Amino acid sequence: MANLFDQYEQAATRSSYATPHQHLPEPVSTGFINASLEDDIPIFNRHRVNYNPKEPITHLKAANNFLVMAFTSNILNRRDMENPNVIDEVELPKSVDDRIYNIYLDPTGSILETEINSTEESKFFQASLEQYVKQLFDVGKDKPVAVTGIEFERIPTPSANEYKYFIIVTTPGRFYQFLGNIPVNAEAPIFQHVFGSYIDEPERCLELPGNFGYSELRFYHDKYKGLPKSFAWMTGPGIYFGMIDVTGQAGHESVTIDTKLIPYPRDEHQKGVNPVGLVITEFHVLILFPDSKDLVDSSDNPAHLDKVLTKQAEYLFSVGKYIESAETYAQTQASFEEVTLKFIKLDNKEALKTFLLRKLICLRPQDKTQLTMLISWLVEIYLNQLGQLKEEGEEMSKKYEDYERVITHHLQHENHNNALEVLSKHNDVSLFYKFSPVFMQNIPKQTVDAWIAKKDKLEPKKLIPALVQYDHERYRTQVS
């Protein structure tokens, strides 16, 4: 006979082919994913760099294995992580109150843009503002607002006479997109050709409520020389995430598709605590809080999501968070047999029960065999737990000398011998007088033996009511 695991797996296989005319999605793998058997490279790894900064770091960016740091003294420091001993250092000209507001590093790690807050704009870089800067667009027409993110990319085009660009700009609560063409022979600043078509137009942007005064924009590049694949914008209500598409699928005024708002994964102790930064990878967004880091899966690919959840469940199990591990495992396609074997080995069966309950909820009404298997197993677990509670209750009653309750419990279940055994070990003779009539009706010989053993403590006249209950005809054979 097949064991319970085999029956469950066989039922799962049958149910997956139960409706041949139904359109089935392409399988995400050749079978159940068992992450414990995979030799995967870790998503993140960490190692120490022999470097101690002499002053506080205000900003840090990384791209293409280059690391750039900005310090309180307005000094920029760039290092190639493949040659960490080689350091490029630049000191920015500044007035007394100038400070670096933000830095932007391109995907190649070779181009850095620096945004400076200055109280003396006319002396910026010791020259007039107009000599170095030309205003192209004002995102603060209603009121002054900080620009928190700027990203731009060139879109491939067959034209030999012009380039096409898209630019994404963010403020603490707004998300702007600009698209336009630039002649090949255009003079600097070249982006005036992009922004110029938006100056006299009604302002178009995505505005999210509840900003906390700052935000952060990040692009993910699959290859550093290629177009970005996705973006993440850290703002008040959550992470605004989406894919970058330059084929026109999003329309003539946008390059973002499949966008969604991912709420921050805050625990109870994190309520009211705002994030301070984020990093985006191919499948994840790493959110930095003042006292913790949270990893959010941003992919809708079932195989990728399943793999992430399996890894998370493994980690929770390894640190002893078995209930959380069971809840996470139940959301994966990990082998039913392997997962249940993990939890069976635990002394506490709550995690196993949690896993089975979560799996039960996910089953369809037509999965009758699997439903039967899981329900039978859960009933067995509940009965075992009830038995344990019963034994614990008896032990607790004995511990606190509540013998009367224990005796009553045995008698209610017609365990007369067990009840008499408890009574015989107890020195409260009043219980003998109380329960002896019941014992004489069911086990008279054993009852009389117990009386004889306690003859020095019992008063015979108080046992008369019990003797009256003796059924002579019923126990004639026993007496003779």
- Residue 46 near residue 64 (C-beta atoms within 8 A): no
Domain-embedded: residue 293: yes
> Is residue 295 located within the same domain as residue 423?
no
Per cent of the chain over pLDDT 90 is: 15
Domain-embedded: residue 430: yes
Q: How many CB atoms lie within 10 A of CB 28?
A: 14
Q: Is the pLDDT of residue 330 over 80?
A: yes
> Is residue 152 located within the same domain as residue 277?
yes
Domain-embedded: residue 1: no
Domain-embedded: residue 8: no
More confident residue, 395 or 20: 395
> Is residue 110 located within the same domain as residue 258?
yes
Q: What's the rounded mean pLDDT across residues 22-26?
A: 38
Q: Is the pLDDT of residue 306 over 50?
A: yes
- What pLDDT, on the 0 to 100 scale, is given for residue 234? 94
Which string of DSSP letters, residue by residue, matches 188-233? SSTTHHHHGGGTTSPP--EE-S---S--EEEEEESSTTS-EEEEEE
Domain that holds residue 444: 416-479
> Is residue 295 located within the same domain as residue 420?
no
Point out the domain boundary residue: 299, 330, 356.
299
Contact partners, residue 62, CB within 8 Å, separation at least 6: 68, 105, 109
> Is residue 288 located within the same domain as residue 422?
no
Point out the domain boundary residue: 299, 334, 353.
299
Going by pLDDT thresholds of 50, 70 and 90, the confidence category of residue 182 is very high
Domain-embedded: residue 11: no
**Residue 356 is which amino acid?**
L
Q: Is the pLDDT of residue 99 over 80?
A: no
Domain-embedded: residue 452: yes
Q: Name the phi and psi angles at 208, rounded to 5.
A: -110, 135
- What pLDDT, on the 0 to 100 scale, is given for residue 215? 92
Closest of 241, 247, 235 to residue 219, by C-alpha: 241
Domain-embedded: residue 211: yes
Per cent of the chain over pLDDT 70 is: 77
Alpha-carbon distance 411 to 401, whole Å? 17
pLDDT tens per residue, range 354-391 = 999 988 888 888 888 888 888 888 888 888 888 777 77
Alpha-carbon distance 460 to 473, whole Å? 23
- Could you tell me the CATH number of the domain that includes residue 88? 2.130.10
- What pLDDT, on the 0 to 100 scale, is given for residue 20? 41
Alpha-carbon distance 177 to 187, whole Å? 23
Closest of 13, 41, 6, 39 to residue 27, by C-alpha: 13
Domain-embedded: residue 69: yes
- What pLDDT, on the 0 to 100 scale, is given for residue 239? 92
Into how many domains does the chain fold? 2
Q: Is the pLDDT of residue 9 over 80?
A: no
Point out the domain boundary residue: 279, 299, 319.
299
- What pLDDT, on the 0 to 100 scale, is given for residue 394? 62
